[in-house]
Amino acid sequence: MRPIVIAANWKMHTTPADAGPLAAQIASRTNDPDVVRVICPPYVCLATVRDALAGTGVAVGAQNVHQDLAGAYTGEISAPMLAGLATWVILGHSERRRDFGETDELVNRKLTRAIEAHLRPILCVGEQLADREAGREAEAVERQLRGCLKGHDGGLLEAGLVIAYEPVWAIGTGRSATPANAASMSELIGRVLDETPLGVGRGTAHSVPVLYGGSVTSSNFGEFMTEPGVDGALVGGASLKPDEMAGIVARAGVTARARRDAAG
C-alpha cells in the first residue's frame, strides 16, 4: 500500500526565530502514525526546524537543491550541504519553473544529486492555465514527467520517489482543480511511470505516491482523498496554519486507515 504523505511547503515564509515554535506546534497537532509528515522550511530555518521536530516523527525537507555538487554559484545550495539538515527535497516546483526558468533537463540533474545525497525527492509536475484551456494538460504533464525521469532507473524507487501534481493555475490563486481532474492526472502519471525505464517490470504505479498540490485547505482536501489515486498533498499557504494542518492530516489519517482496512 502506498503511504499517505502530507508535505508542507513554507516557501519564503518564517524566520529562524519563529520557525521552530511553529514546526513544534504543527507536529504536536498532527500526531498521526498513519500519515507521513514532512515540513519544508526556508534554508535558513532548516536547523531550527530540525531541532524542533526531533523525536516527533515529522521529517524535514528542503525546497530545492542545485544541480552541481559544488562550484562558483553564489547563493546556491548543493545536495551534500543538506546532510544532517534534511531528508526530503522538493524538486521542479512550478514556481521554480516559472520564476527561475527551471527546465525538465535541469530538474532531471537535480534528481540525480538528490539521490546521491540520500534525499527523498518530491518531484513536481503540472500544467499552465493555457495548456488546460487548450486541452493540452495531459501532454504537458507527460512531457515534464518523461523529461525529468529520463535516464533514471530503479534507484529512484529505492529512494522513495514521490510525485506531486500541481496545476500551476491553482497555486496561490484560491482556485483548485476538481478531484476528478486530480484522479485523471494521477492515472496518467501512473501509466507514464510504468512506461519509463524506472518502471519496467516493477509495477511503479503501485508504489509511487501521487500528491495533489494547488490551494489545498482543510475544507477542500477531503474531496481529493476520496480518489484512490491521490495519496496526500503538497500544502502551500495552509501549511503555515496549525489549525489547517491539523485538519488536513486528520483527514489523511482517515483515508490511510480506510485503505489499510480495505487491503486486509
Positions marked catalytic: 93, 166
Helix (H, G, I), strand (E, B), or coil: what is residue 105?
helix
SS3 of residue 42 by DSSP: coil
Contact 200, 157 (CB under 8 A): no
The DSSP string of 114-172 is HHHTTPEEEEEE---HHHHHTT-HHHHHHHHHHHHHTT--THHHHTT-EEEE--GGGSS
Q: How many CB atoms lie within 10 A of CB 118?
A: 11
Q: CA 58 to CA 28: how far, in whole Å?
A: 10
The answer for 60, left when phi > 0, alpha when psi is -120 to 50, beta otherwise, is beta
Which stretches within the chain are classed as H helix? Answer: 16-29, 46-53, 94-100, 104-116, 129-133, 137-149, 155-158, 179-195, 221-224, 242-263
* Cβ within 8 Å of residue 50, ≥6 positions away: 60, 84, 85, 86
Length of the chain equals 264
User: Which SS3 state, helix, strand or coil, does residue 82 take?
Assistant: helix
Q: Output the nine-digit C-alpha cell for 167.
A: 496545476
